Amino acid sequence: MSSTVPVQSSSTPGFVLKTKFVLSSSDAFQNYIEYVDREEAQSEVKLNPKMFETYQEYMVNPEKTSALFTEHANRLTESEKKSLKEMFKTDHENGSIMWQDVISFHNPWLEKQGIYDEKTKKSDEKKLMDVKRLAMKEMHKREGPEKSSTWSAAIHFNTDNIHIHVATVEPFPTRERGKRKPKTLDAMKGKVVNNLFIGS
């Protein structure tokens, strides 16, 4: 069985949501664990392209990405990073699926919502983090792994469009099915739109 599957994609004015999953046998899983470890030394970070091998959007400059964030923390402490890495190792050893999401924003749309300033290149990272948390909560509600899964994410600025990478795993796998329902993707998009859109 292949360790990767085709990407699911859903777009709406302002952003595109892409999601896929990889099996524990995939190099992408191990490379994400290595990424968590290397994120502890931001000055040396250069991601292996296999981390999100489908999208070809990778961090090559530590100044162009946010720190890792999670459901409960905007910036992980060294202890939290270590715990996260150990969690992903456990997931890998236990045969968990890893779900990979990318939300790619249209920067002019973000600017209209007051989230991004083209002149200063500054963005409201806290707002983007909170919106992603809402989308993940909606996904968990519809797909079921809320109490058994963990996720981490980072906002990337190394392309023309701000985007958020997310990885979700289950320390003790409860499901073999990785593909998400189209209605789930629509609901996740709805959370983003409803919490960012301020009208024209």
Q: Write phi, then psi, for 133 (nearest 5 degrees).
A: -60, -40
**What is the pLDDT confidence band of residue 10, given thresholds at 50, 70 and 90?**
low
Of 41, 13, 42, nearest in space to 196 by CA: 13
Least confident segment among 34-48, 75-89, 149-163, 169-183: 34-48
Q: In the chain, where do the E strands start and end? A: 8-12, 15-22, 69-70, 98-105, 116-117, 122-123, 150-156, 163-169
Local structure of 21: helix, strand or coil: strand
- Cα–Cα distance measured from residue 157 to residue 123, given in angstroms and rounded to the nearest whole number: 10
pLDDT for the residue 187? 93
Reported pTM? 0.78
pLDDT for the residue 115? 95
CA-CA distances (angstroms) from residue 104 to 17, 131, 155, 174?
A: 7, 13, 10, 29
Q: Write phi, then psi, for 161 (nearest 5 degrees).
A: -125, 125
45 pLDDT above the threshold of 90: no
According to DSSP, residue 114 is labeled T
pLDDT for the residue 178? 80
According to DSSP, residue 181 is labeled P
**What is the pLDDT confidence band of residue 35, given thresholds at 50, 70 and 90?**
low
pLDDT for the residue 195? 92
Spell out the domains of the chain, with CATH numbers in brackets: 14-196 (3.30.930)
Per the model's pLDDT, the better-predicted residue between 86 and 198 turns out to be: 86
148 pLDDT above the threshold of 70: yes
> How does pLDDT run across 76-86, given as a tens digit for each residue?
888 888 888 88
191 pLDDT above the threshold of 90: yes
Per the model's pLDDT, the better-predicted residue between 155 and 178 turns out to be: 155
